[in-house]
Copies of this chain bind each other. A is one copy, B any other.
Amino acid sequence: MRSRALPCVKRFLNEGDHYLISTHINADGDAIGSILALARIIGLVGRSCRIVLHDREVDLKYRFLAGFDRIASYSPSDRLASSVILVDTPNVARIGDVARLIGEEARILNIDHHASNARFGEVNLVDEDACATSELIFGLAKALRLRIDAEMAAQLYTGVMFDTGRFRYSNLRRAFPVAAALLHLGADPAIIAEAVYSRKSYQSVKVLGQALASLEMHFRDRVALMTLPHRALRLAADLDGIVDYALSISGVSVAALLKEQRPNQFRVSLRSRGTFDVNDLARGFEGGGHPNASGCCIEGDAVRVKKVLLKAIRKRLR
C-alpha cells in the first residue's frame, strides 16, 4: 500500500483506545470479511473494538469466518462512540441506525473502495481502484507489518472473492495477485467458495425453481419477466440473484423479477445489460438504483403490473 493516507491511519490507530467498527446495511461478503479482519488488526496493534451492524440478522453463511460471533446488532441502549472506523460504505447514512452511535465529537476513519465515497472521515483510506475493501484492509495489515494468519487470510479472501463476483467483474488485475497471496497465507478457496455459494436452503432452491418456471419472454426475447406470488415469498429467505437468471439468457437486455410483497403490491427488481437504463425506468415508478440494477414498487395484480411494466419498457426499447 503506497497510500498517502497511511501515516494518518497509523496515527488514528495509535491515538484511539476503543473503536466502534461498522459497515453498510445488508452486510455482504466484502463488508463482513473487512470488519472481521480489521477487528483482528485492532487487536494486533494493542487496541480494543466492538463491531456493531444495523442488520438485525447477519447472513449466517459467513459464520465460518473467525470472529463472526463478535458481530452485534444495533441496540438503542448502546453507548456513544468517540473513535469510529467505517468500512465499505460510501457515506454515513448507509450504516443505518449505527449512525446514532457516532458522537458529535467522534473521529472517523473511512476505509472504502466505492467510487461514490463521500470522504466523510477525518482520515479517508479510499481507493476506488481496489477490487474490494478487503484488499485495502490487506494492504493495511501488510503496511503495519502485522502477521496475517490463516484466519485473517480467509476473512480477506472472502471479501475479494465476493466483490469480484467470484473473479468475474473488473479490477481482477489486482484481485488475482491478492488472492494468490492470501492463498499462500492459508486461505482455502475451495472451502470459502463452498460456504459462500453452495449452502442454500431447501426453500430458497424451491423458490428459485418457481421463479424460473414463471419465466416469460417479450419483445422478441429481449425482455425476460419472472413472477413470485405472495405465498412463495413467505417461504423464501434468500431472493438475491434470482433476477440474474433471467438476465443470463442469451439476447436478453432487460430482466425483471416481480415479487408480490403484499397481496396486490409488487416489489420489482430490474436488471439490464448494456445501455438500457433501468434506473430511469424505475424512477418512473418512484424507484431507483443504478443504470443496470434498480428497483421499484408497483400496485395491482400480477396481470396489471406486468402490463404497466412492459408498456414502460417498450417505450425505452430502441
A residues with a Cβ closer than 8 A to B are: 161, 165-170, 172-173, 176-177, 179-180, 183-184, 189-190, 193-194, 197-202, 205-206, 208-215, 217, 221, 224, 245-250
Contact = CB atoms under 8 A, between A and B. Distances in A.
Contacts of A184: 173
Contacts of A201: 249-250
A166 B202 CA distance: 24
Contacts of A198: 247-248
A115 B79 CA distance: 59
B209 A193 contact: no
A247 B202 CA distance: 10
Counted per complex, copies of this chain come to: 2
A153 to B, nearest CB: 13
A174 B168 CA distance: 18
Given A172-B189, A176-B179, A212 B202 contact: no
A132 to B, nearest CB: 14
Contact of A209 (B172, B179, B210): B210
A193, A200, A209, A221: residue with the most chain B Cβ atoms closer than 10 Å? A209
18 contacts: A161-B167, A165-B193, A166-B167, A166-B168, A167-B167, A167-B189, A168-B194, A172-B179, A172-B189, A173-B183, A176-B177, A200-B248, A202-B215, A205-B246, A205-B248, A205-B249, A208-B245, A210-B212
Given A167-B166, A176-B183, A221 B209 contact: no
A170 to B, nearest CB: 6
A175 to B, nearest CB: 9
A272 to B, nearest CB: 13
A221 B202 contact: yes
Contacts of A193: 165, 167-168
Contacts of A197: 168, 248
Nearest to A211: B209
Contacts of A199: 248-250
Given A200-B249, A209-B211, A209-B215, 5 more contacts: A173-B183, A176-B180, A202-B215, A206-B213, A209-B213
